[in-house]
Amino acid sequence: MANDLPFIDPTRGGSKTQLARAPRPMDLAGMTVGLLDNTKEQADIILETIGTALREKYGVAEVIMRRKGYYSRPAPAELINDMANKVQVAIAAVGG
Amino acid sequence: MCSVHDTVEFEKRGIPATMVLTGVFKNAAIHQFRVRGLDGHPFVELPHPISNLTPAEMREVTLRYIDEIVRNLTT
Amino acid sequence: MNPAIDEFQFFLEKEWSDGFPVVTPTDDRVRWMLQGTRRDPESIVGHVPPAGEVATVRDIAVHALMAGCKPEYLPVVLGAMQLILRDEFNMAGVQCTMHGVAPLMIVNGPYAQQIGLHGGNGCFGPGFRANATIGRAIRLLLMNLGAGLAGKASATVFATPLRYTACLTENVERTPWETLAVSRRYAQHENVITCAIVESPRLHFDDVSIEPQRLLRGIADSMTSTGSWNMWFSSDVVVAMSPQHAALCAKAGMTRAEVQKRLWELAERPQANLKQGGNWRPERARAMGIDPDDDDYPIKAVKDLERLHLIVAGGMGPITAICHGWNDSSRAVHGTYET
């Protein structure tokens, strides 16, 4: 127990509070899908392919693609907020 | 990686989200989802490397994972 | 109380340990460390990515203590943490990248001398408490609060020895020029930290040149490595000239700004040369607005002159150290800090 230690233990992250996952729909028919391109190589081709396939085979109504300024950097809150107002599901590519 | 951050941010806003990465980053993504509070969050792993694939090859590889993407986003 | 705990083994077994023993944090020792700042210990400095755990002044003091800092080093640690958590620095990306880069702290101003920060012989290596422990304090924070652990959240392939510690100052006794901070229009009396995301230094030896143009051509060539990401992005680079190399330029009448500009001009390679190996791809050329078939096109190692951070450091000897950068998602940051 931490209270038994004769010194301070500054360790973090032991029991990270888990967030609630967004509830999932039954399917994607009629939905607007957001695609977030982090500008890393191949991300655009991957996301265009996904967008086309989702429209053609899964009944997705609309695809909104957004490109970040730099890869390796988290998307600004404004960009996420803007997409979250317009889409029902989102896919980000390409990680790394 | 930024895509983990972005995926988590969408989920926090009630938007089901997933991401695509290449295999060499799989372990990093698993840990990053954990430290950001979405332990075990599903993502799609493409075989590494992809940087040397032609556009046609990249499309062809991506198409193999569409079903998995949809599974990650639906019940 | 559990008398059986070996405090050293306890901390050495921590996931966030850097592999070396720490100074055991106790309430008394933390109080001692907090004497180094007037700031409110509970005030929040920032959140350390990717885990996003909060870092208060007290948290930073605890990690500075563990690293082996003296209280008078704490202002530098606090100032550096504030800088590296700026959005434009993108510590989130650095903590997770495959690359082996780390934030290098260059500390200028009188306080650096006052606390014994070292910029002479061996300044990139062990033996200097301020350099070693200030840099280490930052790393312990990044690993414990940020959880940027190799093989876990961090995909880093090799990391870099700079991830043990990376803090130095310039060789103010022997430099012929103004410091990096003064060149950026900070006043001489201001205490300034510059942080840049870089790789380990690569050493360029030149004990032959007797005039600056040949010297600078050689250094510039070392700045343009095949396999470096500097060629394919707008990245930072730190060039640390030894006092000997700096003197060669200064005696020929060159100012610091002129040397910086000349290195920037010379550090380029024809595209054909970069195609023979390494990370050339036609898409990467196109992304920079370059025709991949233009073999003669000169690709610069530093796209933006301001991202070439020239300092004078190290002992006397015919060497310049070059630290290549990362990518353009991180921009070097600089600012004053409170002592």
Question: pLDDT digits over B21-40, tens only?
Answer: 998 899 999 999 998 999 99
In which residue are the tokens 């008398």 written?
C3
pLDDT, mean over chain A: 91
Residues of C in contact with B2 (CB under 8 A): 92-93
Q: Please, what sign has the CA dihedral across residues C225, C228, C234, C239?
A: negative
Residue A70 pLDDT: 73
Percent of chain A residues topping a pLDDT of 70: 94
Are C339 and C75 a contacting pair, CB within 8 Å? yes
In which residue are the tokens 């470096």 written?
C228
Residue C311 pLDDT: 98
- B25/C98 Cβ within 8 A: yes
Residue C48 pLDDT: 96
Confidence of residue C1 (pLDDT cuts 50, 70, 90): very low
Please list the pLDDT of chain B residue by residue as tens digits (75 residues): 889 999 999 999 999 999 999 988 999 999 999 989 999 999 999 998 898 899 999 999 999 999 999 999 999
pLDDT, mean over chain C: 96
Nearest residue of chain B to residue A32 (CA atoms): B15
Residue A96 pLDDT: 75
ipTM attached to this prediction: 0.96
pTM of the model: 0.93
What value does the mean pLDDT take over residues A23-34? 97
Q: Is the pLDDT of residue A14 over 70?
A: no
- C52/B36 Cβ within 8 A: yes
Which of A12, A21, A32 would best serve as a mutation to test chain B binding (most B beta carbons within 10 A)? Answer: A21
Residue C3 pLDDT: 60
Q: Please, what sign has the CA dihedral across residues C232, C237, C242, C244?
A: positive
Residue B38 pLDDT: 95
Lowest mean pLDDT among A10-14, C54-58, C166-170: A10-14
Q: Is the pLDDT of residue C2 over 90?
A: no
Residues of B in contact with C97 (CB under 8 A): 1
Residues of B in contact with A35 (CB under 8 A): none
Residue C298, Cβ density class (10 Å: 0-12 exposed, 13-18 middle, ≥19 buried) = middle
C279-305 pLDDT per residue, tens: 998 988 998 999 999 999 999 999 999
C220-276 pLDDT per residue, tens: 999 998 999 999 999 999 999 999 999 999 999 999 999 999 999 999 999 999 999
C83-112 pLDDT per residue, tens: 999 999 999 999 999 999 999 999 999 999
Interface list for A 11-70 with C (CB within 8 A): 11-13, 16, 41, 70
What value does the mean pLDDT take over residues C136-148? 96
